[in-house]
């Protein structure tokens, strides 16, 4: 089994108004929402070819911990941002 960590840079684009994604074709819908979901702003990933709106972008640096282990016959691959969780699973 194994474990490790990965540093990621994620660029997001802030837009106002309705999202540009057609959600009618979605296979699953999540009716639960948090207060953060109720704003009029939406976040979207920036396509590599659409860099014209860079003034509205934000780059976040994330540290992701991963752990791989066997639970019986099932392989589990856990991704978390909480180092305590990854350490607890490795024990």
Give the residue extent of every domain in the chain: 2-90
Mean pLDDT of the region 7-12 = 91
Mean pLDDT of the region 2-8 = 95
CA 69/CA 76 separation, integer angstroms: 5
In the predicted model, is pLDDT for residue 83 greater than 60? yes
In the predicted model, is pLDDT for residue 21 greater than 90? no
User: Distance from CA of residue 81 to its chain's centroid?
Assistant: 10
In the predicted model, is pLDDT for residue 15 greater than 50? yes
Please tell me which of 6-20, 40-54, 67-81 the model is most confident about, judged by mean pLDDT.
67-81
Residues of the chain above pLDDT 70, percent:
55
């Amino acid at each position: 089994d194994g474990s490790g960590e990965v540093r990621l840079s994620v660029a997001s684009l802030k837009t106002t108004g309705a999202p540009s994604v057609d959600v009618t074709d979605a296979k699953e819908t999540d009716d639960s929402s948090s207060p953060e979901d109720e704003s009029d702003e939406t976040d979207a990933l920036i396509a590599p070819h659409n860099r014209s709106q860079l003034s509205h972008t934000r780059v976040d640096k994330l540290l992701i911990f991963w752990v791989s282990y066997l639970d019986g016959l099932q392989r589990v691959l856990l991704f978390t941002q909480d180092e305590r969780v990854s350490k607890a699973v490795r024990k």
